[in-house]
Amino acid sequence: MKAWLLNDFGLDNLVLGEAATPEPKAGELLVKVGAVSLNFRDKAIVDGIYEPHLVPKPLIPVSDASGTVVAVGEGVSRFKVGDRVNSHLYSRWIDGEPGPNEPAYCFGMPLPGGLAEYMIIHEESAVGAPANMSDEHAATLPIAALTAWYSLVDYGQVQPGQTVLVQGTGGVSIFAVQLATALGAKVIVTSSSDANLEAVKQLGAVAGVNYRTFPRWEEEVLKLTDGKGVDLLLDVAGGEGVNQSILATKAAGKIAQIGFLTGQATTLSLMPLIFRQTTIRGIAVAPRSSFDRMNAFLNEHAIEPVIDRVYAFDEAREAFEHLARGAFGKVVIKVA
């Protein structure tokens, strides 16, 4: 089969080549990949800044895929040939709290990912793709949509009328705007682009703050919330900005720490954290059971993923470059 292979760190070392087509073992599905979507994790793996000591070489990268089951191993009962399925990043996290070694069973590193014509997914890990979505749309769900869903529902327990702040307009953030709005929350978005802030208002956001225009953006958020702060904040930036996130969140509010776009380390100012009694939880996607619940919600509310651009399979490098520049929503690569 054709597959993109990461032979060493750096985008120049991601090359289109050949790999053996895998054969499904007991309990496994062979999936003909229809499309994949890119996440910051995928870029960080290629760049060598995401657990580089765990990256096997060569590696077929990219965790998030959607496709069609073309063969099954012995004993498979959850899916059959012809079914459309999604990959699920943490291939062994099915329900409940995560185990201590979930990262050891992630697609796209260390397990082979979906940037190839075929991939293996265990039947217990696979998720039925929404019937009303194309492969391109369904491929956006496994990390971006599910991370937003888990942050809002399983962790945040967002209720109608509450206020949610979402940072940026990338994949997770756009899904968070759509999902939180459907849940009845009021959404505030921060971005460096006024055009993107206007665009997210079309998706349901009630207000936006340009953090370049207002470097102390947390003060603007307090003005928008009558001085209280937001109930839940989805932090995708990390770095020193976590301290501003604390100040933008209400007393006893929650922060979902999702990303590290501006840095993997921070100097935390403890007094605001203590006096505001803020809860900060690291969010690393979700179990498969949450994915199943989310897909039902997406169908019920007819939520359509926002795709910035779809690239051809042989344009994978260009897709990664697009992600590096920044995207409004998701960057997708059509495989089949």
Per-residue pLDDT of the chain (336 residues; tens, 9 = 90+): 999 999 999 999 999 999 999 999 999 999 999 999 999 999 999 999 888 899 999 999 999 999 999 999 999 999 999 999 999 999 999 999 998 899 999 999 999 999 999 999 999 999 999 988 999 999 999 999 999 999 999 999 999 999 999 999 988 999 999 999 999 999 999 999 999 999 999 999 999 999 999 999 999 999 999 999 999 999 998 888 899 999 999 999 999 999 777 778 888 889 889 999 999 999 999 999 999 999 999 999 999 999 999 999 999 999 999 999 988 889 999 998
Residues 27 and 79 grouped into a single domain: yes
Q: Are residues 176 and 246 in the same domain?
A: yes
Q: How many residues does the chain have?
A: 336
In-domain check, residue 299: no
| Domain of residue 66, CATH code | 3.90.180.10
| Pair (135, 152) in one structural domain | no
Are 125 and 149 found together in one domain?
Answer: no
pLDDT for the residue 265:
84
What is the pLDDT, as a whole number, of residue 10? 95
Looking at residue 266, what is its pLDDT? 87
State how far the Cα of 26 lies from the Cα of 21, in Å rounded to an integer: 16
pLDDT for the residue 63: 97
Total tally of structural domains belonging to the chain: 2
Task: Answer whether 198's CB lies under 8 Å from 266's CB.
Answer: no
Query: Are residues 11 and 135 located together in one domain of the fold?
Result: yes
Is position 298 within any domain? no
pLDDT given at position 264: 80
Give the range of the structural domain holding residue 83, as residue numbers without chain letter. 2-140+305-334
Please report, for residues 54, 169, 269, the alpha-carbon distance to residue 243 in angstroms, rounded to integers and kept in the order given: 31, 21, 6
Question: What is the reported pLDDT for 324?
Answer: 93
Quote the pLDDT of residue 170.
87
Residue 321: the pLDDT is 97
Question: What is the DSSP annotation of 255-298?
Answer: EEE---TTBS-----HHHHHHHT-EEEE-----HHHHHHHHHHH
User: Do 263 and 177 fall within a single domain?
Assistant: yes
